[in-house]
Structure 1
Amino acid sequence: MPRPAPRNSGPDFARIQNSLEFDELRRRFRGFVFPTSVLFFVWYLTYVLLAAYARGFMGLKVIGSINVGLLLGLLQFVSTIVITLCYLRFARRHIDPRVRQIRSNAGIADT
């Protein structure tokens, strides 16, 4: 006697992944994340290269014992925080509403 096919009571994830709404969600996400990641990587690499090869420039005093290298190092932290805040705002406005719509169309309750 053949066994009955297993019932799938959950969402059809393959259909969700192949939907136009999911493609748009992925496009918007990548449109923010990839350029931002490249920009931050270039900024970080510039800092590292300056620290390695432009010691005179990085050692220039700005105020008291604070030099250019210290300021650029602190700006690494500031830029990380700014990127995080920008992503949170972007996700709240552009990603989260689309995720809610995709979940609703798939019959998945918001938790």
Structure 2
Amino acid sequence: MQASPEFAELRKRFRNFAFPMTAAFLAWYLLSTYAVDFMSQRVAGNINVGLLFGLGQFASTFLITWLYIRHADRNLDPIATQIRDELEGAR
């Protein structure tokens, strides 16, 4: 089954979502680690860019989760169901 075109398509669709999201999230995280001067700039009062980025990481985690669920429902689950049905002999 791993050599089938359906499984290859499933892997491709997963990777097309997972790799860019992972790269974006890591870039966001690394920016907060290495851009110390930028992150320490004050926005208002005791609030600086780093604090806003830190809070934004929580929001971005929920956003990425929501996007993945939507992507999986539309693009991954139909193929995975087809593969499972084929393996189990349901159809």
After TM superposition, the score normalised by the length of structure 2 is 0.86
Q: Give CA-to-partner distance per residue, 1:42-85, whole Å, 9 cap, x none.
A: 1211111113xx1xx33333223211111111112211221111
**Matched pairs, number:** 90
Cα deviation, residue 88, structure 1: 0.9
SS in 2 for 1:17: coil
Q: Does 1:67 align with 2:52?
A: no
**Identical aligned pairs, as a percentage?**
50
Unaligned runs of at least 5 residues, structure 1: 1-15
Partner of 2:10: 25
Which of the pair has more CA radius of gyration?
A: 1
RMSD, matched Cα: 1.6
After TM superposition, the score normalised by the length of structure 1 is 0.72
Answer 1 or 2: which has greater helix percent.
Answer: 2
Structure 1's consecutive aligned runs of 4 or more residues displaced over 3 angstroms after TM superposition are none
Partner of 1:5: none
State how far apart, in whole Å, the 2-side matches of 1:73 and 1:23 are. Answer: 37
| 1:1-111 superposed matches below 5 A | 16-51=1-36, 54=37, 57-107=38-88
State how far apart, in whole Å, the 2-side matches of 1:26 and 1:42 are. Answer: 24
State how far apart, in whole Å, the 1-side matches of 2:74 and 2:47 are. Answer: 39
- Which amino acid is the alignment partner of residue 91 of structure 1? A
Q: Do the aligned partners of 2:10 and 2:79 also contact (CA within 8 Å) in 1?
A: yes
State how far apart, in whole Å, the 2-side matches of 1:58 and 1:47 are. Answer: 7
